[in-house]
Amino acid sequence: MDTGMIIKNIRRQLHDGGYKLTPQREATVLVLLENDKDHLSAEEIYMLVKQKSPDIGLATVYRTLEMLTELKIVDKISFNDGVSRYDLRKEGDHHFHHHLLCLECGSIEEVEEDLLGEVENIVEKRYDFLVKDHRLTFHGVCSQCRKKK
């Protein structure tokens, strides 16, 4: 799907939630789209948005990210390094993808496929817990770092 179409969908989602897609919000979403393989912090997103809209304020970026999180357009995740990171959810995805965090180089790889179907069933039955979403991160060593040794 092209960017224009994605933006159009997001505009509709905002309207459904009672929000407008202001130029600042659109610029923020564009940065997220252009960097959908990264896991940017609010500060990093702010720096990138500033290149498009130099007058945007940091608080606006924070508020936009909060709103996008509430609407489940982005997922907020923390990798225990003291900052929250924001990850655009793929169109039609109803689960949050998983992450592989390399303890040596700090890289974060994404695992698109949902490996938790069976595990969620067990949790729902055995713990009587209605699962809505999940966060799964593996800590380990990526192939590149293992090759180096």
Instruction: Give dist(CA 137, CA 18) in Å, integer.
Output: 33
Contact 138, 101 (CB under 8 A): yes
CB closer to a copy of itself out of 30 and 136: 136
CB closer to a copy of itself out of 37 and 134: 134
Nearest distance from C-beta of residue 114 to a copy of itself, angstroms: 10
Residue 112 contacts a copy of itself per CB under 8 A: no
CB closer to a copy of itself out of 1 and 111: 111
Q: Binding residues for DNA, per CB under 7 A?
A: 19-20, 22, 24-25, 41-43, 53, 55-60, 62-64, 66, 82-84
Find which of a copy of itself, DNA, none residue 25 binds, CB within 5 to 8 Å per kind.
DNA
Q: Which residues of 42-76 are buried (b: 16+ CB within 10 A; e: fewer)?
A: bebbbebbbeebeebeeebbeebbebbbeeebbbb
Q: How far is CA 38 from its chain centroid?
A: 9
